[in-house]
Chains A and B, each alone.
Chain A
Amino acid sequence: GDSVTQKEGLVTLTEGLPVMLNCTYQTIYSNAFLFWYVHYLNESPRLLLKSSTDNKRTEHQGFHATLHKSSSSFHLQKSSAQLSDSALYYCALMATGGNNKLTFGQGTVLSVIP
């Protein structure tokens, strides 16, 4: 079945440094939608950004990601981390042609320190 791998469980960064959270996925279907959801403490998880277009950069709220189907990756990046970026980040996959359910990765906690 479909799977999503976020290899880092915890990423700790000093404020101002660049952010990169890794996400790779596996699916047998060619049409893949990839998502990043963010879960701030004491809030509900919400969609950060999404893409289904190969090699096109998607941006939202200072974060960006590019879907690379050749390497099955959708890494989340930001040029300069802020303290307010501290949260739990989930990468998710929906591959049309399958059961169309959203498959989430294990999640990466981003901790930004002064």
Chain B
Amino acid sequence: GGIITQTPKFLIGQEGQKLTLKCQQNFNHDTMYWYRQDSGKGLRLIYYSITENDLQKGDLSEGYDASREKKSSFSLTVTSAQKNEMAVFLCASSIGGPSAETLYFGSGTRLTVL
């Protein structure tokens, strides 16, 4: 089996700050995803990547950047943190292209902006 590791587990930032979240997977999966989890709003796709150096925007990409420099890693940057923002960011991977249905998730990064 494999694992998805997200760092940090908790991230506290200041308004306007640029913040980076990291994700590593050892499944050797091609596709990786970043989702934002908000209570009552489900999981919303921010960015995904179908291979190294590929980036595809999701429904919630505004205010975020992403980078896939290696097959095993996918980072997400909050370009300017919003005051009082609180959310959990979940990284996931899947075996093939975006049509592959089973996602494997990390345990999340919980963001708090003061």
Contact = CB atoms under 8 A, between A and B. Distances in A.
A35, A43, A46, A102 pick with most chain B CB within 10 angstroms: A102
B43 A104 contact: yes
Contacts of A105: 42
Contacts of B105: 44-46
26 contacts: A33-B101, A35-B101, A37-B103, A43-B107, A44-B4, A44-B90, A44-B105, A44-B107, A44-B108, A45-B90, A45-B103, A45-B105, A46-B104, A46-B105, A50-B101, A94-B99, A96-B99, A99-B98, A100-B98, A101-B58, A102-B103, A104-B35, A104-B43, A106-B41, A107-B42, A107-B43
Interface of A: 4, 6, 9, 33, 35, 37, 42-47, 50, 90, 92, 94, 96, 99-102, 104-107
Given A44-B104, A50-B101, A102-B101, 14 more contacts: A37-B103, A44-B4, A45-B103, A46-B104, A47-B102, A47-B103, A90-B42, A90-B43, A94-B101, A96-B99, A100-B97, A101-B98, A104-B43, A104-B44
Nearest to A94: B101
A45 B4 CA distance: 12
* Dominant secondary structure of chain B at its interface with chain A: loop
* Dominant secondary structure of chain A at its interface with chain B: loop
Contacts of B106: 44
Contact of A101 (B40, B48, B108): B48
B44, B58, B104, B105 pick with most chain A CB within 10 angstroms: B105
Nearest to A52: B101
Interface string B27-58: 00000000100001111110010000000001
Report the 8 A-B pairs with minimum CB-CB distance, sorted nearest first: A100-B99, A104-B43, A44-B105, A104-B42, A106-B42, A45-B105, A100-B98, A44-B107
A100 to B, nearest CB: 4
Contacts of B42: 4, 6, 90, 104-107
B81 to A, nearest CB: 24
Contacts of A100: 97-99
